[in-house]
Amino acid sequence: METRDLSKAAIAVIGAGTMGIGIAQLAAMHGHTTYLFDVDAAKSQSALAGLESLLAKRVEKGKMTQMLLDSTLANLSIVTNINELAAVQMVVEAIVERQDIKQQLFVQLADICADDTIFASNTSSISITAIAAAVPNPERVVGLHFFNPAPVMKLVEIVRGLRTAPGITEGLFNLMRAWKKVPVTAKSTPGFIVNRVARPYYAEGFRALQENATTPAQLDFIMREVGGFAMGPCELTDLIGQDVNFSVTQSVYQAFFYEPRYRPSLVQQELVDAGCFGRKSGQGFYDYSQTPKAPVYTLPTIDVNDATNDAALPALVVRGDWRYANGLVERLQAADGLTVTLEEAGVSSIDIGEVSIRLSQGESVEVDYDDAKVMLMDWQADWSQARAVVLAAGMACDADELKLVAQVFARLGVGVIWSADHPGLYVLRTIAMLINEGCEAVLHDIASEADIDAAMKYGVNYPKGPFEWAALLGYDTVLSILNNLQRLYGEERYRASLYLVKKAATCHTASA
């Protein structure tokens, strides 16, 4: 089948909710004759009125021209009888997330529309293959998953079912490019790309809470400040809705026949059972009836009035290859009052007196270094701008040594977040699991490395895609982290993807 040219297609949007009116706005703004249908005609009228008001305000603020507003509204009309959609070339449904209802709609439309009319579902989780199975000419059924709000969010997942015609996915890819979106293609699988690959971001954070290694406010601070994420897992799921996020996790877990990587969290289930859904209920991980409503965490600081802070610090010895933390070494060398010696040989470490600071490889500082003065360090997204570092100190380290290390980092303007022993700590462990999930998706031909990276950056605003992180860390480092986690926990949850194992064997070194 040739690539479908949809540049001038008449488009029908079914469902006048937030997503439906957003998709209709996009189509109309880009010159398509667009029809909006909802079984509740009053809902369509209300949605259109709301859109007119929204666009008028954008014109007032100079963010949109009056000409574009007028053309958008001229291209968009409401239909109250579904039979009026007979001549459209594409239908996009944005209705309730139930497979049977979506199938009923497309079966009904199959009797109304032409045999080659494209039926696109905006589903975020339902199998496109399953939806298409009940529809005449199933090769025309495809997933077209926008992210909310559709006019703003760049990412669109184009999902091919088992029988979806390649010419349709190619045509939609070109159309989304014309709409100035970032399209990615994926095979129909539970969660598609984003809702599948993102699961570890929540799961590993919640596990740290369940193991009493951190608090919600500290965890969110670490993921934002140290990891470079826009929001931490607790505040993000409070925004999404704990009930919604938990339901998606359950759905993916069940759809993958109870794969351990997707197992839901008891911490989150307790919130849901209590009706603590987050912002919309006033209580989730945080109490939104209080002021300030945002999660609060105070970064530990060194007491500037403590005379011992002015005392001379011991010379530092930096050993080995620091790969992704070279920026830290550079800051240590440039800091006032610090003497730094570089030694290429040996295990990568920063030796401060008798203490050895090492980049975590997924070990347990208590199990693997029980009698050594070792501290394990978490990933830091940008050492040139860092103002915090996460460290877990071994049991052999005393209070004076902890204070000494904090004083050294204070010379860099960096505060130390002292963590309980948590293998792989927080950011590094989460990133390793995100990389592993991306590798599994590529192994199973769900999507390409490039599309997975684009999906995670534009769909959930990650600072990097999984394979960009892997290039920085080195696949061998990621493999070591996962192997150590599996060794310590004894769980299949942390088994390394075969794709990752092969990548570690062929391109093991980190990028420069």
Query: pLDDT by residue (tens digit) across 60-91?
Result: 999 999 999 999 999 999 999 999 999 999 99
Burial of residue 28 (number of CB atoms within 10 Å: 0-12, 13-18, 19+): buried
For the stretch 326-350, pLDDT in tens is: 899 999 999 988 999 999 888 899 9
Report, as an integer, the average pLDDT of 262-279: 97
Respond yes or no: is residue 145 known to be catalytic.
Answer: yes
Q: Which residues make beta-bridge pairs with 341? A: 317
Q: Which pLDDT band holds residue 377 (cuts at 50, 70, 90)?
A: very high
Burial of residue 301 (number of CB atoms within 10 Å: 0-12, 13-18, 19+): exposed
Respond yes or no: is residue 195 known to be catalytic.
Answer: yes
Q: Is the dihedral of CA 246, 251, 252, 257 positive or negative?
A: positive
- Alpha-carbon distance of 250 to 248, in angstroms, equals 5
CB distance 239 to 302 below 8 Å = no
Q: Output the pTM of the full model.
A: 0.94
Q: Which residues make beta-bridge pairs with 375? A: 357, 393
Catalytic entry in 32, 145, 449, 480: 145
- Alpha-carbon distance of 344 to 263, in angstroms, equals 42
Confidence (pLDDT) at 306? 57
For the stretch 227-261, pLDDT in tens is: 999 999 999 999 999 999 999 999 999 999 999 99
To which residue do tokens 């079912």 refer? Answer: 161
- Residues 477, 483, 485, CA angle at the centre, nearest 5°? 105
Respond yes or no: is residue 419 known to be catalytic.
Answer: no
Confidence (pLDDT) at 311? 64
CB distance 233 to 206 below 8 Å = yes
Catalytic entry in 121, 122, 188, 195: 195
Report which residue type is found at 29: M
Catalytic entry in 93, 139, 157, 225: 157
Mean pLDDT of the chain: 94
Respond yes or no: is residue 422 known to be catalytic.
Answer: no
Length of the chain as a residue count: 512
CA 447 and chain centroid, separation: 16
